[in-house]
Amino acid sequence: MNYDTIIFDSDGVLVEPTDPAVHRTAVRKAFLEFGVVDVDAETVEYLVEITGDERDKLSAANVRRVCEEFGIEPEQFWRRREQLAVEAQAEEVERGRKCTYPDIGVVNILDAPAKDLTLAVVSNNQAGTVTNSLEAFDLAPHFDAIYGREPTLAGLDRRKPNTYYAEKILTEFGGDQVLFVGDSIVDIQTADRLGIDSAFLHRDHRASYQLTESPKYEIDGLEGLLEIVS
């Protein structure tokens, strides 16, 4: 297929996913800063994204509900929780606990002038985390646009499968033949809602992941893209 645009998810596709424990710690730290000492594990889970799809409990509605229970202003709490998560994940990158995958060199090949491709990133992780990670590994220059969620409750609701950020890319750069590459059901759903093709990437952390949607392609590594877009 002669694709002219490829949109990538970030975590689990370009860089390794963040250990969920890092997000849980960020949530607990945020509560402490707002004067809440004891938070049960179930409550914390409502404020952490684990799989990146509809199986997660994370939502703006749940943030508001939890904050109301503790008498906390939701937007202020969420901005601080997001900032703490950005800082924690930056440390994970710095300490070598959040790295790129061995096949990341494929991005450099796809960015070659001869390919004439628009490359972009749309992630459900924080915008700051996505940008920090790609810059740390010198990947940012390969992409024409990089989007993660804004540190607001509105940004939380704009996560995939909401097409908000992907639509911004298509509006800015156009694209007649677009491929969305991801490792989650929501990536496939986003592509379907946009009427574009999707490729599901089978990374090790998805070994027991049950696909309930049908992507156009299934690949075992980024190398599989070279055959698809050739």
pLDDT of 196 over the 80 cut: yes
Tell me which of 61 and 55 has the higher pLDDT.
61
For residue 177, give both structure tokens: 């033949």
Q: Phi, psi (5° rounding) for residue 119?
A: -115, 135
Which structure tokens are listed for 54?
A: 């509809």
Average pLDDT for residues 191-203, to the nearest whole number?
A: 97
Residue 153's closest CA among 54, 47, 60, 26? 60
Q: Is the pLDDT of residue 7 over 80?
A: yes
Of the two residues 50 and 100, the one the predictor is more confident about is: 100
Q: How far apart are CA 134 and CA 146, in angstroms?
A: 9
Q: What is the pLDDT of residue 49?
A: 85
Q: Which of 64, 65, 48, 67 is nearest to 56 (CA)?
A: 48
Query: Considering the entire predicted model, what is its pTM?
Result: 0.95
pLDDT of residue 184 exceeding 80, the answer is yes
Q: Which of 208, 170, 207 is nearest to 190 (CA)?
A: 170
Was domain 5-17+99-228 assigned CATH 3.40.50.1000? yes
Average pLDDT, the chain: 95
| pLDDT score at 56 | 80
Q: Is 71 left (phi over 0), alpha (psi -120 to 50) or beta?
A: left
Angle between helices 74-94 and 60-70 (to 10 degrees): 110
pLDDT digits (tens, 9 = 90+) for 114-153: 999 999 999 999 999 999 999 999 999 999 999 999 999 9
Q: Give the tens place of pLDDT for each residue, 57-80.
A: 899 999 999 999 999 999 999 999
Percent of the chain with pLDDT over 90: 90
pLDDT, position 55: 66
Of 156, 203, 17, 8, whose CA–CA distance to 92 is shortest? 17
Q: CA 194 to CA 186: how far, in whole Å?
A: 12
For the cut 80, the answer to whether the pLDDT of residue 179 exceeds it is yes
Phi, psi (degrees; rounded to nearest 5) at 220? -100, -5
The per-residue pLDDT for range 35-53, each reduced to its tens digit, is 999 999 999 999 998 777 7
